[in-house]
Amino acid sequence: MKYVSEFRQQSLARQLSAAIAAEVKPQRRYNLMEFCGGHTHAIFRYGVQELMPDNVSFVHGPGCPVCVLPIGRIDSAIHLLEAKDVTLVTYGDLLRVPASGRKSLLKVKAAGADVRMVYSTRDALKIARENPQRQVVFFAIGFETTTPPTAVAIRQAQAEGLENFSVFCNHVLTPAAIQNILESPEVRELGSVSIDGFFGPSHVSSVIGSQPYEFFAEEYQKPVVIAGFEPLDVMQSTLMLVRQINSGRHEVENEYTRVVTREGNVKAQNLVAEVLELRRSFEWRGLGLVPYSALKIKQRYAQFDAERRFDIPVSTARDVSGCECPAILRGAKRPTDCKLFGSVCVPENPMGSCMVSSEGACAAYWSYDRFRNPDASDNAVA
């Protein structure tokens, strides 16, 4: 496959593997956090960890859109479906995320609610156009990558006068989350999580550019390398991070130059700024309330805001007892540290959000990696 297989070549992987092994200092550890679930997925799917020296570890961050969405927001959507009989449309893997009372969007769909999966906001608009008698609510979720299409959909709905369309906005912001992790007591004070460097997001950075990371590279003295999602991108970026760490630098470097610029996609940024604005604070699963970390719909587009149209109740549900998703999302624990992992929490029956999406650290461990530590999964139902 042209333009894809070039970034999955085994011969180059071996060369990079040897280069990293030659570069690392044997007496120290390199804990590198990949913020994005896309990187987590690539690391596990291609078996990248195996090509790393023992003292290079990947710490999995919170950059999995469905993983960080708090249960309360899904409860709200389920409430909307049950109380107002709307048509709810959203992206694929949100459907399986467990909500309160052992519910999920997939389960309420099975019980008769009108929930539909779409690949793009264009499909969401199409459903609204084709069903003028139904209220169609788009459950918008994701980081900066999926935000511009939501903004475009809202503008389009206004231009068309599509009165039965609205958006339940749950878009969140990457830089705020990274800063929150760096500020967390585990990283700052306790030192229980040592993070030596970051892989910067790929798709997100194509929109926001590499500039927003410059602040915390400087402020927290951590190197950042913007990395593409292909396995060779991850390996090349690892080499770049190792070199920065060895030479005591903490800069923002860009490995993903084929897509990401320093400024990013200014047109997309302007579109988002026209339709959406910062929320004062937003709850993240794992991180709690994070100030200025999410977006809401601006007053001038208020008629398309599902939260205003339907008066959606704010729900603050708790995670399942024993579920370590919050600590795993902060990089403070590994999936295998959770006592639910592989016993009651498996992809067929996820207890926490990290087991749902293939970008989630628990699902990635379970689906791709558990043969390395088979006894941790001995109590599994599968």
Partner 1 sequence: MTHGSGGRAMAQLIQDLFVRHLDNDLLRQANDQAMFEVPAGRMVMSTDGHVISPLFFPGGDIGSLAIHGTINDVAMSGARPLYLAAGFILEEGFPLADLERVVASMSLAAAKAGVPVITGDTKVVEKGKGDGIFITTTGIGLVPEGVNISGDRAKPGDAILVSGTMGDHGVAIMSSRANLEFETSMESDSAALHGLVADMVAAVPEIHCLRDPTRGGLATTLNELAQQSAVGMNLREEDIPINPQVSAACELLGLDPLYVANEGKLICICEQRHAAQLLQVMRAHALGKKAAIIGEVIEERHGFVRMETSFGGSRVVDWLAGEQLPRIC
**Binding positions for partner 1, rule: CB under 8 A:** 1, 4, 8-10, 13-14, 17, 36-38, 41, 44-51, 63-66, 91-96, 106, 116-119, 123, 141-143, 145-146, 203, 231, 346-348, 357-359, 366-371, 374, 377-378, 382
What is the nearest approach in angstroms of partner 1 to the Cβ of residue 1?
5
Between the CA of residue 54 and those of 137, 183, 266, 366, what are the distances in Å?
Answer: 48, 28, 41, 21
Distance CA 332, CA 40 (A): 16
**C-beta atoms surrounding 379 within 10 Å:** 11
What is the nearest approach in angstroms of partner 1 to the Cβ of residue 292?
22
Query: Is 65 or 286 the residue whose CB approaches partner 1 more closely?
Result: 65
Query: Is 245 or 340 the residue whose CB approaches partner 1 more closely?
Result: 340
List the structure tokens of 227: 């990395």
What is the nearest approach in angstroms of partner 1 to the Cβ of residue 229?
8
Q: Which stretches of 293-343 are assigned E, i.e. beta strand?
A: 295-297
What is the nearest approach in angstroms of partner 1 to the Cβ of residue 27?
26
Query: Is 237 or 244 the residue whose CB approaches partner 1 more closely?
Result: 237
Distance CA 42, CA 81 (A): 35
Query: Is 64 or 241 the residue whose CB approaches partner 1 more closely?
Result: 64
Distance CA 358, CA 45 (A): 10
Contact 39, 234 (CB under 8 A): yes
Query: Is 47 or 288 the residue whose CB approaches partner 1 more closely?
Result: 47
What is the nearest approach in angstroms of partner 1 to the Cβ of residue 235?
9
By three-state DSSP, how is residue 134 classified?
Answer: coil
User: Please, what is the Cα angle at 101 between 106 and 119, to 5 degrees?
Assistant: 25
Distance CA 25, CA 28 (A): 6
Any idea how long the chain is?
382
Q: Is 307 exposed, middle or buried (0-12, 13-18, 19+ CB in 10 A)?
A: middle
What is the nearest approach in angstroms of partner 1 to the Cβ of residue 41?
7
What is the nearest approach in angstroms of partner 1 to the Cβ of residue 120?
10
Query: Is 40 or 293 the residue whose CB approaches partner 1 more closely?
Result: 40
Interaxial angle between packed helices 37-45 and 231-246, expressed in degrees from 0 to 180 and rounded to the nearest 10: 110
**C-beta atoms surrounding 243 within 10 Å:** 17
Query: Is 37 or 72 the residue whose CB approaches partner 1 more closely?
Result: 37
Query: Is 315 or 358 the residue whose CB approaches partner 1 more closely?
Result: 358
Distance CA 171, CA 173 (A): 7
Query: Is 193 or 345 the residue whose CB approaches partner 1 more closely?
Result: 345
What is the nearest approach in angstroms of partner 1 to the Cβ of residue 352?
14
Which among 122, 119, 146 is positioned nearest to 203, based on CA atoms?
A: 146
Distance CA 142, CA 150 (A): 10
What is the nearest approach in angstroms of partner 1 to the Cβ of residue 28?
24
